[in-house]
Amino acid sequence: MNNFFNYIDRPSPVHSLTGATKLTCLVLWTFAAMTTFDTRYLGFLIVLGIIAFAVSKIRFSDIRGTLLFTMGFMMLSAIMLFIFSPEHGVEIYGTRNVICDLPGKYALTKEQLFYQLNVILKYFASMPVVILFVSTTQPSEFAASLNRIGISYRIAYSVSIALRYIPDITKEYREISKANQARGIEMDSRKISLMSRLKNAAAIIFPLIMSSMDRIEIIANAMELRRFGEKPKRTWYSARPFRAGDYICMLLCACLLGITVILIKINGSRYYNPFV
Amino acid sequence: MKKTPVVTIVAVGIGAALFFVLSRFVAIPSPVPNTNISIQYGFLSFMAVLFGPVAAALMAFIGHALSDFSFGWGVWWSWVIASGVAGCVMGFAAKKVNLADGKFGGKEIVTFNVVQVIAHLVAWLAVAPVLDILIYAEPANKVFVQGLTAGVANIVTTAIVGTLLCFAYAKSRPAKGSLKKEN
């Protein structure tokens, strides 16, 4: 029912880890990859990510769409980066090796290329864990794991409600949209002007939001009748106990973050500088 | 609707779900290529007026993080946090504007819009770019231009969509003191 997050049900060692473990690993790993600009370490993280993929039995065909989308997004952002700040690499690394001059104030430097390579590697270093997390964690377990890592169960429950109702609200959106199309409202954006496009969108969005207000009241009443929020703690149907594998994975990811910190100490900054 | 803690929790959940749906499926293409009008911030401002700063911040944070997750390529934390901040600041309009009483006239419209403009400026011209520089070490001029574009676009959509939503909702509520006792 809930496949916006591409959960793929296929038994594997990664699937059998608890949601809380995977969430902790995701946070630690992305922080490690986000902080460092050390090319060697980013390369290591990418290899590790690919290994994790192989273990999880997620196939390339499962994630091709996501990958293509990411590539397109990365290209766009790389071009923008160059247009806005062609000398950012020079600023960071402190040297300037020009490869070739380009028209205007632009010049292609080795430093800029190296900086942009690092930015792309950073995407690739953190992407595998995010894809793994969403494709191996059941959405209902996700909320339980939030509570497990120390977030108040009331907030975890909000997340759980969001995940539960995203498909319903999407369905309702489509229904309202179809009903309005049956009444003759044009939805094809190529055929109409911006103003009427906005007006038509309003004809769908307003009923959708107003009916969601009623939904809030209904759900809240049902929860209040069951005395939700009376006790300081609650249990979760989908929660599972930690096993040895869970502890090992969390320890491993904590080490990854540790390496990032050590590398910052060794390199003297977040960057690894091959130019000096 | 009475505002109990449970109602707030549910509102955060449903609000985040709607934020997600609006940002993922309700794409209104703008005249600028490859950019969509993000209607979700108009909706967020409306929810912020109804449920206050904490609920709005959580709604935006959860909704934005979930939609980033569902795109699959990673969560852009700096902008997710900025969304949360925008929701939080917008929520301060809740003290001045009381939609539940069915009142949304000239004074309320001005208050609502002043607050939403401040919220967007803080979020997209301060929080998002600064976090981008701190976390991702992006060049300053790039992130400020991105922030400015997003901020201006969001202010305009919020001004239109948010105001209209508040107006429509207030009209659907019975106004305070609108009933008279018959003799």
Q: How many helices (H) and strands (E) does chain A have?
A: 10, 2
**Do the domain assignments include residue B181?**
no
pTM of the model: 0.87
Packing angle between helix A153-182 and helix B53-71, nearest 10 degrees? 70
Domain boundaries, chain A: 13-88+120-138+239-267, 152-225
Contact residues, chain A, for B66 at CB < 8 Å: 159, 162-163, 166
> Measured in whole angstroms, how far is the alpha carbon of residue B33 from the centre of its chain?
24
- How confident is the prediction for chain B on average, in pLDDT? 86
pLDDT for res B19: 93
B25/A contact by beta carbon, under 8 A: yes
B95: pLDDT strictly greater than 90 = no
pLDDT tens for each residue of A219-231 = 999 999 999 888 8
**Do the domain assignments include residue B104?**
yes
Q: Which two tokens stand for residue B179?
A: 């009933």
pLDDT for res B142: 84
Contact call for B29 and A197, based on CB within 8 A? yes
Compare CB distances from B142 to A70, A80, A223 and report the shortest one's residue.
A80
Distance from CA of B113 to the nearest CA of A (A): 19
Q: Which two tokens stand for residue B99?
A: 């939609």
Interfacial A residues in 114-173 facing B (CB < 8 Å): 119, 122-123, 126-127, 130-131, 133-134, 154-155, 157-166, 169-170, 173
Can you give the CATH number for the domain in which B15 is found? 1.10.1760.20
Q: Scanning every residue of chain A, which has its alpha carbon at the shortest distance from the alpha carbon of B54?
A: A155
pLDDT tens for each residue of B2-45 = 678 899 999 999 999 999 998 887 766 666 555 567 889 999 99
Token pair 């595998």 is found at: A128
Spatial contact of A5 and A134, defined as CB atoms under 8 Å apart: yes
- Cβ neighbours of residue A192 closer than 8 Å, sequence gap 6 or more: A186, A200
> Measured in whole angstroms, how far is the alpha carbon of residue A265 from the centre of its chain?
28
Distance from CA of A5 to the nearest CA of B (A): 5
Which string of DSSP letters, residue by residue, matches B86-149?
Answer: HHHHHHGGGGT--GGGT---HHHHHHHHHHHHHHHHIIIIIIHHHHHHHHH---HHHHHHHHHH
Instruction: Give the number of domains in chain B.
Output: 1
**Do the domain assignments include residue B50?**
yes
Which structural domain, as residue segments, surrounds residue B121? 5-172
**Do the domain assignments include residue B183?**
no
Contact residues, chain A, for B28 at CB < 8 Å: 189, 197-198, 201
CB pairs under 8 A between A and B: 172
